[in-house]
Structure 1
């Protein structure tokens, strides 16, 4: 009985003493820095206002009337000359060389007319205005107008009323998310090789101190490999001074040396100083 108790106690001791193998991901799987409440977003289709509908309807009528007027003028001219009556009324006994020239001329005029109307239809509204002017103020106004058009065409809202989702002006969400996935891999690689100088470029000074202290607990290079990762914006807000974004990463990574795999469930909080031209986005908080 005493021997069985000794074996049981030894098993418990080994189970508690043996370290749990886990992948050494960026940040050590802990939370640092600033923290915000986040929530997924959904796409919301904008509704046309009555003013917009009234502005569109007269334009459609004018376009239709102008095309009708051009066609009416052309056909009216042909009728005035008696050409239609001549061709379709049997006035000619046979097709002569002059008849062929007249038919060719009519076909050429109709072709040029249709080509002009088709070119007008395919040109987007405001295309010329987008390239007019060279002053910085005009360029800024055009950028704001283009941003408003994009925001009206595709609007995203948070699924939680307490979580803001206000994208800063001129922000390209798809390009930003594509870049953030690549940066996640770059930062994880820098964490593996203890390249603190590269990590410093991506994080705020306060967060860097916490990360450097956490990385010092690991010995040598790590072998955490990002298998796949996806990213989505789960919070966005800005004021006159600062823009804030929160990115949720999901995916999977593995540690080849320890032979373990784990899920990626990280949220990075980023900020950008809007008062400084071309200021970078810096990570100010990590939620694991």
Structure 2
């Protein structure tokens, strides 16, 4: 081989430089004190939350006697809407049932007529006198349907049938069960709400209850 720079070394150097540039373009460069790549977290399976289905709400046919009574109520109070009323009635049902279990007298006084409140308050006082506690959970309201309506002057009554899944358990001072069960039970309640449609108070108050 004659003097001069070896050609094969030049070729190898060019190839090596090309490979380095290619690797840098693919992998990138590290600058400074970079943290090592974080390990990929494998998400744990999450239990799906069970959301109760909305209650079936039954509004009577406008051509039937109950539907016609609702139309008369709307004639006195144009803002009355049967479907919206059922939504509010379901909310009141939940608050009253759970408020009674908790002995929440102020809440009950706002949502019950005087006569109905007197009966609820007496039952709460009797329970407290025996140092008993009531646990009530409404797991689901399956059905809320208007089954009767009446209008006397400006005073309207609307009766709603509620079908619900509940847990009701009463325990004594030592925590021992004395009534009810901690199992879910389907209950049917028929409640009547009343309001003077000319009153500034928009609250429909509970005036009567019965089990079906």
TM-score by structure 2 length? Answer: 0.56
> Could you say what secondary structure the match of 1:175 adopts?
helix
Q: 1:277/1:261 Cα in 2 relative to 1: closer, same or farther (>3 Å)?
A: same
- Cross-structure match for 1:249: 162
Equivalent residue for 1:157, pick from 48, 54, 64 = 64
Whichever structure has more helix as a proportion of its residues is 1
* CA distance in structure 2 between the aligned counterparts of 1:210 and 1:260, rounded to whole angstroms: 27
CA distance in 2, matches of 1:164, 1:265: 22
Q: Report the Cα distance in structure 2 between the residues aligned to 1:179 and 1:200, rounded to whole angstroms.
A: 17
Q: Point out the more displaced range, 264-273 or 210-219.
A: 210-219
Distance 1:280 1:42, change over 3 A: closer
**Structure 1 residue 234 displacement after superposition:** 0.6
Task: Name stretches of at least 5 consecutive residues in structure 2 with no aligned partner.
Answer: 1-57, 170-176
- Decide whether the 8 Å contact of 1:165 with 1:235 is kept in 2: no
Task: Please state how far the C-alpha of 1:247 moved relative to its aligned partner.
Answer: 0.7
- 5 Å matches for 1:1-288? 42-43=60-61, 155-158=62-65, 165-167=68-70, 168-169=73-74, 170=78, 171-218=80-127, 219-229=131-141, 230-255=143-168, 258-288=181-211
RMSD (Å) for aligned C-alpha atoms: 2.3
**Is residue 240–residue 274 contact of structure 1 (8 Å, CA) maintained in 2?**
no
Q: Is the 8 A contact 1:41 1:157 kept in 2?
A: no
Equivalents in 2 of 1:200, 1:215: separation in Å? 13
SS of equivalent to 2:111: coil
Of structures 1 and 2, the one scoring higher in RCO (CA 8 A, sep 6+) is 1
Q: Secondary structure at the match of 1:252?
A: strand
Aligned residues: 134
**With structure 1 as the length reference, what TM-score do the two structures score?**
0.42
Q: Please identify which structure carries the higher strand content.
A: 2
Partners of 2:100 and 2:155 in 1: CA distance:
28
Mapped to 2, the partners of 1:273 and 1:215 lie a distance apart of 28
Q: Which has the larger radius of gyration?
A: 2
